[in-house]
């Protein structure tokens, strides 16, 4: 199994972690960044960013869907890329 590592700058500090696929196959949100998600295939995670201005809609793990922020509830995933 491959683990994808990530680093995110939050308020001037870097937070480093790793993403583990919750299921072998599917599309899953980053725990911090709303426009970042992971495509899991055979338990291996690939990091993907939504196009500029869009955020990841995690309503259906079998579908990768980015939408405008007004249509997506990001919850605790408050960070966005610049």
pLDDT tens for each residue of 50-73: 999 999 999 999 999 999 999 999
Give the CB-side neighbour count of residue 39, counting CA atoms within 13 A.
8
Structural domains for the chain: 4-71 (2.170.140)
pTM: predicted TM-score of the whole model, two decimal places:
0.77
pLDDT of residue 18: 85
The tokens describing 2, both together, are 């491959």
Backbone angles phi, psi at 8, to 5 degrees: -130, 135
Residue ranges in the chain whose pLDDT is less than 50: 1-16
Question: 79 - beta bridge partners?
Answer: 33
Backbone angles phi, psi at 11, to 5 degrees: 50, 45
């Amino acid at each position: 199994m491959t683990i994808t590592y990530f680093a995110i700058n939050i308020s001037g500090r870097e937070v480093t972690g790793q993403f583990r696929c919750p299921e072998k196959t599917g599309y899953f949100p980053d725990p911090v960044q709303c426009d970042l998600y992971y495509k899991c295939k055979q338990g291996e995670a690939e990091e993907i960013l939504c196009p500029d201005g869009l955020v990841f809609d995690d309503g259906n793990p079998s579908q990768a869907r980015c939408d405008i922020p007004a249509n997506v509830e990001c919850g605790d995933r408050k960070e966005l890329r610049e």
